Amino acid sequence: MKEKRTIKPEDLFKLKSVSDPHLAANGKDCIFVETKMLEKENKYCSNLFYINVQEKNQPVQWTFGENRNYSPRWSSDGTKLAFVSDREGKGQIYVMDTNGGEARQLTKCPNGATNPVWSPDGRKIAFNVALKHDETLTQTEKQEKKEDKLLVPLEVEKMKYKSDASGFWDGKYNQIGIVQVESGEVELLTSGKHDFQLQSWSPNGNKIAVTADLSEDKDISFISDVFLIDTETKDYENITNGIGSFGHVTWSPDGKNLGMFGHEQEFKNATLSKIWLYNVEVKNLTCLTADSDLLVGDYAIGDFQQGAVSPGILWGEDNHRFYFLATDHGNTVVYYGSLDGELYPAHLDRQHIYGLSTGGKIDRAVVAISKPTNPGELYLLSVTTGELEQLTNVNEEVLNEVTLAEPETIQFQSSDDWDLHGWIMKPVNFKEGEKYPLILEIHGGPHAMYANTYFHEFQCLAAEGYAILYINPRGSHGYGQAFVDAVRGDYGGKDYEDIMDAVDYALANYDFIEKDRLGVTGGSYGGFMTNWIIGHTNRFKAAVTQRSISNWISFYGVSDIGYYFTDWQIQSDLNDITTLWKHSPLAYVDQMETPLLILHSEKDYRCPIEQAEQLFIALKHRGKATKFIRFPEANHELSRSGKPNLRMKRLNYIIEWFKEYLI
């Protein structure tokens, strides 16, 4: 038998991501997206695959080529499939007959089209489209290119003028269009200086549910209301009336109820999302999980999956029962709910469920599951028995070649008696009696959650001979409202103590850890905490800070979220420079003795690169050991969806830095 090898960063080019499964209404036909990296072309490629979940045969590829094909959606009768493809440049809506034949392009929008939603009768498809005020849905490519490409100044009049995802705002608003499947005729359902997000079509075809913020001053508004738009008159009806932020809106099959995720922003961006129900007949909105500490949706983080989609509430055929995903204690779980208020897990295990589809059935579901030693596959879940049957095995070849580290769950109490939860990975090829260096990993957010999911970075470090420690300190999702809110106003306080308590616990309970060879790394909030840690202790011999915050004073206003995130999280603003500086790692630069590698993206608008520049210069000016790596054209999402070659370089920089200072 061939001896297995350890995994390398470059194995990302061999691994495939399966995501966004959709089970047709017949309960047997399933379509999903498979994404892989193309090394030579330095890009991602996505195609659609079909599988019959009853026959459990090998998946059949339905689209081909080296472009991105995604967002597959069945028509209600299952005879057609709509999807988005960028094969002609910008993403457009395509449709294909499920009995065979070439896909046909439906839209030719100047800036592309996304998010296809079928009408109940299968004759129309609604979609999202970005348009400037003078653009139409049928603008030709020649018209699109008529403007001279000279550089022009950017005129800024609002605070929300940039986004880490899409860059500087260019005058486009997100509208909703409708296309006739047979004729290709298109029309706009919405217009004006507002962004609309398409949600779902009512079963009778008369209404479309959308979300939007129609506030006059959106710079100081953070609501997301649900509107029902009449498809004939285009009249709006606001059913949430400005009370909070809502999304993932789905109709019950009889059209009498709408289910949605949302909250009233009681704790700003630390507020738990809940299940809400709107009765269409009596026009009544109620929160079904008001008394529950359950977080609905998938808030687990990783660095591998591409195109994962949270499905919202999936109604059963009886109009009474439904399923959804929830985030709970390091796992994501399939939950069952009903109009009577019943609520319990339908499938609970140590896992990350990042995709869910029922096709309207109540007894079965297709789920996408990742575990620490499995990047992700599709399974058929029997809801009544809890049994899983594997449907795909896209990473079998790679997993048969490599040895991966299996994390061990740890549970302990903080110094002030809070229950804490995390994991420790032994190095690959661990040998009893030997000592190993430990790397502490810290997640971003801070309102996110480490989970029982595959993390390529962790596996690559474990393959190099490091033990890996990672926990969910207070501020993390998955452990209730009080826990997630506890970090606000206390950055570098009890959250720091939680993390150091975890290090103490690991050293006290795992004698294979070499206490004098500790490393630390993290990104975003995790980068902030890495900076904070090395300014408050010299226990760590090496550190890598990624897309970090170092100075809350200069962060104010330069981030795409800076002017309100600081208010919400630090609970201070420029009227209180003392508090902002107290929570800034840069204030403690004189105490930083740990060799620090600084990784940052040039086009990171979430944590702008000036944060890294200040820290690097301050350290270098003081003669400290540091190095600064700037990733061109990359944004805040480099580690998860950046250019493949830059993702590889990032991982290798981390490995080499720890190798230099810890081995």
| Residue 345 to residue 357: CA distance in whole angstroms | 16
In 3-42, the DSSP E strands lie at 5-6, 17-23, 29-38
End-to-end Cα spacing for the chain: 31
The torsion angles phi and psi of 31, rounded to 5 degrees, stand at -120, 145
Going by C-beta distance under 8 Å and a sequence separation of 6 or more, which residues neighbour residue 589?
535, 615, 618, 619, 622
The torsion angles phi and psi of 517, rounded to 5 degrees, stand at -130, 70
Q: Residue 6 to residues 253, 380, 399, 464, 518: CA-CA distances in angstroms?
A: 50, 31, 10, 8, 22
Rg of the chain taking only CA atoms, in angstroms: 25
3-state secondary structure string across 273-326: CEEEEEECCCCEEEECCCCCCCEECCCECCCCCCCCCCCCCEECCCCCEEEEEE
Q: Residue 536 to residues 166, 497, 588, 589: CA-CA distances in angstroms?
A: 36, 11, 8, 9
Strands 186-188 and 295-296: unpaired
Residue carrying the six token digits 């990742």: 370
Q: Do 362 and 351 contact (CB within 8 A), yes or no?
A: no
The torsion angles phi and psi of 499, rounded to 5 degrees, stand at -65, -40
Structure tokens that stand for 401 in this block = 């070649």
163 is catalytic: no
Phi-psi region of 41 (alpha: psi -120 to 50; beta: other; left: phi over 0): alpha
329 is catalytic: no
| Residue 153 to residue 179: CA distance in whole angstroms | 36
Structure tokens that stand for 500 in this block = 């150091």
The sheet carrying 173-180 orders its strands as: 114-118, 124-131, 173-180, 186-188
Per DSSP, 417 falls in state: S
Q: Is 639 helix (H, G, I), strand (E, B) or coil?
A: helix
Q: Residue 258 to residues 110, 190, 645: CA-CA distances in angstroms?
A: 33, 21, 44
In DSSP terms, 68 is beta-bridged to: 46
Q: Do 517 and 434 contact (CB within 8 A), yes or no?
A: no
Q: Do 324 and 312 contact (CB within 8 A), yes or no?
A: yes
- Angle at alpha carbon of residue 600, lines to 595 and 605, rounded to 5°: 145
Choosing from 524, 554, 559, 601, which is the catalytic residue?
524
Per DSSP, 255 falls in state: S
Q: Which residues are part of the catalytic machinery?
A: 524, 636
